[in-house]
Amino acid sequence: MGKIIISGASGAFGRAAAELLLEHVQASDVILLSRTPANLSELAARGADVRFADFDDPANLPAAMGGGEKLLLISTARVGTRVGQHRNAVEAAVAAGVRHIVYTSLIAADAPDNPAIVKLDHRATEEIIEASGAAWTHLRDSQYAEAIAGPMTIPALMAGGKPDNCGEGAVAFVSRDDCVATAVGVLTQPGHENKAYVLTGPELFTIPQAMAMASEIAGKPILVEQVDDDAMFAYFDALGAPRHASDIVPDGPIPWSSDDMVTFGQAIREGYFAEKTDWIERITGRKPRSLREVMLAHKGSWPL
Ligand SMILES: NC(=O)c1ccc[n+]([C@@H]2O[C@H](COP(=O)([O-])OP(=O)(O)OC[C@H]3O[C@@H](n4cnc5c(N)ncnc54)[C@H](OP(=O)(O)O)[C@@H]3O)[C@@H](O)[C@H]2O)c1
C-alpha cells in the first residue's frame, strides 16, 4: 500500500484519525498535514512524516502532497468560505499523484432542496473531487453526538433549557470516533472507490428527546422551547453570533454563524437528516456508539 496523507491532522477529527491509522499501517507510510506541525511533534516522534500545509496558500501544497497515494481531506472549519481551500488541496493532491481522495462530508449533502447552507460547500467539494480524476469516497457524516453531548447540552444545563427550531425532525446522531474509524477503514481496505456512504448512529432522536436523555442522565431539568426560525436568529443575535460566515472574527468568541445554525435546524425539522444506515458496522466491524454512551462519556464535563 502507498502512503496515506491526512489533512487538518491537528484538529479533533484529524488527530484521532492519525492515531488510529498509525495502528494499522507503518508510520513511514503516514503523512500528516497541518498549519501547526509543532502540535504534532509526538506523532512525528513515532515516525509519521509531519508537513506544513495551509490550503489558503497553493504555493506550499505541492511539497505537502508529494509522495502520497491516498488523501483523507478533512473539511476545514469555516462554513461558507472553504470551497476554495478544498479546491486548492484537491488540485495539488492530484497534480502530486494522489489517486484516491476520501472526504469528510455531511449527511444529505446531495439533497438538492436541503436548506442547510453547510451542505453547499460540502456538495461543491464533492463535485470538485469527482471531477479531479482521482477516485473518491464521500463520507457523509450525520450530526456528531459529541456536538449534542457537549456544545448543546452544557449551555442547556446551565440555563435550564434552550430554544429549538428542529420540531419533530429526527437525527441518528453519530459518534465522531466511529466516523474516524470508518475513515481509517476506507483508507486501508480495498473496494471503497467512487462510493458515498451516509454514516449514522444506531438510533433516531428528535432534539427534545436528546435533551430529555441529557436531563435524565444529569438529574437536572432542560426545558426545550419550540420556536420559529426568526426567534432562533434573535436568540443567536443576543449571543453576539455573526449572521454570516464571512462576518466571523478569526479567533473570536463565536466561531460559527447564525445562518448556518438556523438553516441546519430547518433541515432537521424538514426531515433531511432523518436517516439511519449500517455503514459504520459494515466497514469497521463494530456497532456504532449510542447517543447515551457518548453522553455518559461527556458527563464529567457537565455543570452538575
Ligand atoms: N457532522 C457534524 O456534526 C460535524 C460537526 C463538527 C464538525 N464537522 C466537520 O468535521 C470537520 C472536522 O471537525 P473537527 O472537529 O476536527 O474540527 P477542527 O478541530 O476545527 O479541525 C478542522 C481542521 O481544519 C484544518 N484547517 C483549517 N484551516 C485550514 C487551512 N487554511 N489549511 C489547511 N487546513 C486547515 C485545521 O488543521 P490544522 O490546524 O492542523 O492546520 C483543523 O485541524 C469540520 O471542519 C466540519 O466540516 C462536522
Give the chain's domain count: 2
Q: What are the backbone angles phi and psi of residue 11, rounded to the nearest 5°?
A: -80, 180
Which residue range(s) make up the domain with 269?
146-170+202-274+289-301
Atom in ligand 1 nearest the alpha carbon of residue 11: 43
Contact partners, residue 28, CB within 8 Å, separation at least 6: 47, 49
Pair 88, 106 in one domain: yes
Q: Is 284 domain-assigned? A: no
The CATH number of residue 12's host domain is: 3.40.50.720
Pair 27, 153 in one domain: no
Q: Is 243 domain-assigned? A: yes
The CATH number of residue 223's host domain is: 3.90.25.10
Q: Is 200 in the pocket of ligand 1 (CB under 6 A)?
A: no
**Contact present, 115 and 270 (Cβ < 8 Å):** yes
Query: Which regions of the chain does DSSP assign to beta strands (E)?
Result: 3-6, 30-34, 49-52, 68-73, 100-106, 135-141, 161-164, 170-171, 195-199, 205-206, 223-226
Q: Is 281 domain-assigned? A: no
Pair 194, 73 in one domain: yes
Q: What is the spatial distance between Cα 166 and Cα 99, in angstroms, rounded to a whole number?
A: 40
The pTM (predicted TM-score) of the whole model is 0.96
Pair 186, 255 in one domain: no
State the pLDDT at residue 250.
75
Q: Is 184 domain-assigned? A: yes
Per-residue confidence in pLDDT tens, the chain, 304 aa? 799 999 999 999 999 999 999 999 999 999 999 999 999 999 999 999 999 999 999 999 999 999 999 999 999 987 878 999 999 999 999 999 999 999 999 999 999 999 999 999 999 999 999 999 999 999 999 999 999 999 999 999 999 999 999 999 999 999 999 999 999 999 999 999 999 999 999 999 999 999 999 999 999 999 999 999 999 999 999 988 899 988 888 777 777 899 999 999 999 999 999 999 999 999 999 999 999 999 999 999 999 9
Atom 11 of ligand 1, nearest CA residue:
75
**Contact present, 222 and 214 (Cβ < 8 Å):** yes
Pair 182, 240 in one domain: no
State the pLDDT at residue 254.
79
Atom in ligand 1 nearest the alpha carbon of residue 13: 16
Query: Around Cβ 301, how many Cβ atoms within 10 Å?
Result: 11
Pair 62, 186 in one domain: yes
